[in-house]
Structure 1
Amino acid sequence: MHLSNILLDERPITFISDRNAALLEALPKVLPIAYHYFCLQHLKANLRDRFSGPSFNNTFRSRIVFLFSSCAYAPTVGCFNQCMKELQDEGKGIVCGFLSNLPYDKWTNAYFKGHKYGEMHSNVAESFNSWIREARHLPTTKMINSIRLKIMDLMSKRREQAKKLNTFLCPEMDSTLVNALKSERTWWLVVQVIMFLSKFKACYAKSVYPIPTVEKPLVAMDDLVFFPPICKKPPGRPRKNKIPSRGEKIRQVQCGRCEKYGHNRKPCKETLP
């Protein structure tokens, strides 16, 4: 809800997620005009789990996943229909059951109506989460400050790298560009590279400075009264494992006494023979 207050209505936003149940429920309510695209990597993993059994070998599973990817990458509806027919013919009922709750406009290029600029996965978010792995478990203010320091360090390193690029993007491209200059049909390649170099330098020209008032608030601290957050701390240790996506294969707990699923030996009330 706070995110929706700062987003501009005239700029449609596309969310790429792993079909988490909370996002599937919240996005249509809070951001009804936003587009939602399902991460292809998670979908392929979910589909592969559907064929995890002794009756299916790795070659067949890889073939099904390849056909599913072809459907997702198909640029036109006609190409998509052709790939989809081949997928359903080979996958039979398992594939049809998997596709029953997957709207085409949520995972295919042919039917998607928003803008995602070629992105098919949520790898950007996964990479960022890995980059701030140590800071994620800190308190909010310390986490933000840690991320700010990492960004400052990254900007400084990239700025030094950009200063070293005096010719083109890398020395290995010089010979290629010299040959490109001899051909009038490839002049756009030279222009594109030169513009990219200038853009690359401009991205890291500015600096990220520390917050000047973080240690010196603008108001007198004596007049402020801080109360604990209005929330109840849940029992147990804070959760650190990722929340599984929808359709992800989850290991079920099996009781060692009655051998049933859903509980362990301690709360089991079954009597042994």
Structure 2
Amino acid sequence: MEDHRQANCNVIGELIKSKYMSIKRVHTPHGIINDMLDDYGVSMGYQKAWRAREKALELARGNQDDSYQKLPIYLHMLKVSNPGTITHLVTDNKDHFKYMYLAFANSIKGWKHCRPVIVIDGAYLKTSFGGTLFTASTMDANNNIFPLAFGIGDSENDSSWLWFFAKLKETYGEREGMTIISDRHKSIENAIDDVYPKAFHGACIFHLLNNIKVNFGVHGEDLNLNFVKAAKAYRVQSFEHYMHEIDKIDTRIRPYLQKIGYSTWSRCHAPTRRYTMMTSNIAESINAALKATRTLPITTMMEGLRSLVQKWVWKNGNEANGTFTQVTTDIETVLRENFIRAIKFQVFPVNTILYQVVVEQKGNFLVNLMEKTCECKRFQQDEIPCAHAIAVFAKTRLKTYDYVADYYKTTTMKATYESTVHPLPNESEWTLPETLNKIVLPPKSRKQPGRPRRKRIRSRGEPKVQIKCGRCAQPGHNRKTCRNEPIPKQRNPTKSKKIDK
């Protein structure tokens, strides 16, 4: 193929930079080769297309090396635009980037209105210098994701996690009955033991289930169903029932879980309330939302992160202001479902405080109105009235909303989003005080040859996502590469024809 020397990678990069303005846009070197040939009649090899792509990325999104030097002024302007925001930037003795921490002002103010459960996770940065993005998050009154803090470190090692947790505690302190949920990463366990010795550290049941599959080579829906039900069981009797079913699958699993400790992953054995947060799914959701953002230069990445948090805060704040029930919509749905179940129950008073609720085939449950407890354990664990408690309320004409924890009230959600995240002014208006004039060089890590990895390395035992064609419904390929006959569209028999009169 003839190569046009005048069309060097710098010229081509200028021509195609607009295609990389969206961080989710994928434009491969093969795509560049085809587009340049079709649009300009310019032919080139793969290497030139790759270099042109790198140049276009730099023009559209910024230089990886220079972005570290912009970080101090960006963090300063972030605090100017959002008073109360906390940032920390650490470099080594040769001015190379080491750690960074960020907690927005609205997160700091809203934390006291959320349940005292923090979900922790780390995700690799997909840049030339690598590194790890640390996240801490929780849920608001309507079970939406509420980010608390972000950090960047060189890797998931003891020192970086210890530094992140120390800054997290400085920002948010430690609340009574606090629970921290994460995977069973040893560095996270060590950091929690040092920084939060009084807090309970619970394991994500999804990661633990994958570990069981890897260690014992056991798979199948029976294991998934019984393990999840055992972990989420509110009563020890139910827990033992599902553990007995797991014993039938493989007798080695119970000793393994006993060694880890039932309290680490089982709801009914936990010393604190985990509410509905049994996994680290909310942290995984943040990582997924930031998948494209983690490929950007560090300062551009922080702006993308700020933009995402601003979007969530605006959306959830509007949702709170548009809710006119005493509790949030998610909790209203739970109460409605419990009320439907409670219709079939019979209630017998023991005294003015205690009531016995009779449920067919499941026995009797004692509800204590003063202590807000029920023998099913749901009432006190989730701090939401269970079906048995609602049956008592219906008989005694008590208001159900009075027995719902303040964490789920609409007023609480409005208070959580009372403040917002503001955008930064135009870059031409950025100013950095001389006292904060700091040199920040890229990390000392050596740039790895080849392309940076884009996809996460799946752990052993983690289920693979199987591709299914939308044209022929066969697995193993997609619509673009399908060579099979398309499935004819089935007519909906319930849809009646319109009759012309």
TMscore range, shorter length? 0.5 to 0.7
- State the one-letter code of the partner of 2:283: A
1:15 aligns with 2:180: yes
Which residue matches 1:217?
431
> Which structure has greater strand proportion?
2
- For residues 101 and 167 of structure 1, the distance between their equivalents in structure 2, rounded to whole angstroms, comes to 46
**Structure 1 SS opposite 2:250:** helix
- For residues 319 and 454 of structure 2, the distance between their equivalents in structure 1, rounded to whole angstroms, comes to 36
The partner residue of 2:285 within 124, 127, 152 is 127
- Retained in 1: the 8 A contact 2:184–2:203? yes
- For residues 161 and 10 of structure 1, the distance between their equivalents in structure 2, rounded to whole angstroms, comes to 27
The partner residue of 1:4 within 165, 183, 208 is 165
- State the one-letter code of the partner of 1:3: F
Question: In 2 relative to 1, CA 209–91 (structure 1 residues): closer, same or farther, beyond 3 Å?
Answer: same
**Structure 1 SS opposite 2:293:** coil
> Which structure has greater helix proportion?
1
Superposition map of 1:1-273 within 5 A: 1-6=162-167, 7=169, 8-9=173-174, 11=176, 13-48=178-213, 61-88=220-247, 90-96=248-254, 98-99=256-257, 101-162=259-320, 164-165=322-323, 185=397, 187-189=399-401, 196-211=409-424, 215-220=429-434, 224=437, 226-236=439-449, 237-242=451-456, 244=458, 248=461
Question: In 2 relative to 1, CA 204–93 (structure 1 residues): closer, same or farther, beyond 3 Å?
Answer: closer
Quote how far apart the aligned CAs of 1:156 are.
3.2
Quote how far apart the aligned CAs of 1:127 are.
1.3
Cα shift readout 1:115-144 (whole Å, capped 9, x = no counterpart): 422311111111111222222222332222
- State the one-letter code of the partner of 2:205: L
- Retained in 1: the 8 A contact 2:165–2:192? no
- For residues 120 and 27 of structure 1, the distance between their equivalents in structure 2, rounded to whole angstroms, comes to 18
Which residue matches 1:254?
none
Which residue matches 1:261?
none
Question: In 2 relative to 1, CA 224–23 (structure 1 residues): closer, same or farther, beyond 3 Å?
Answer: closer
Quote how far apart the aligned CAs of 1:110 are.
2.8
Give percent identity, aligned residues only. 25
- For residues 66 and 35 of structure 1, the distance between their equivalents in structure 2, rounded to whole angstroms, comes to 26
Question: In 2 relative to 1, CA 150–103 (structure 1 residues): closer, same or farther, beyond 3 Å?
Answer: same
- Structure 2: which 5+ runs fail to align? 1-161, 337-393, 465-501
- State the one-letter code of the partner of 1:123: N
- For residues 186 and 463 of structure 2, the distance between their equivalents in structure 1, rounded to whole angstroms, comes to 15
- For residues 322 and 267 of structure 2, the distance between their equivalents in structure 1, rounded to whole angstroms, comes to 39
Question: In 2 relative to 1, CA 198–92 (structure 1 residues): closer, same or farther, beyond 3 Å?
Answer: closer
- For residues 320 and 201 of structure 2, the distance between their equivalents in structure 1, rounded to whole angstroms, comes to 36
- For residues 51 and 235 of structure 1, the distance between their equivalents in structure 2, rounded to whole angstroms, comes to 35
- For residues 212 and 12 of structure 1, the distance between their equivalents in structure 2, rounded to whole angstroms, comes to 41
Quote how far apart the aligned CAs of 1:86 are.
3.9
- Structure 1: which 5+ runs fail to align? 177-181, 252-273
- Retained in 2: the 8 A contact 1:20–1:244? no
- Retained in 2: the 8 A contact 1:48–1:65? no
Question: In 2 relative to 1, CA 225–156 (structure 1 residues): closer, same or farther, beyond 3 Å?
Answer: closer
Quote how far apart the aligned CAs of 1:164 are.
4.8
Cα shift readout 1:205-243 (whole Å, capped 9, x = no counterpart): 43322356975334139x946252452225234444435
- State the one-letter code of the partner of 1:188: T
Which residue matches 2:468?
none
Question: In 2 relative to 1, CA 13–212 (structure 1 residues): closer, same or farther, beyond 3 Å?
Answer: farther
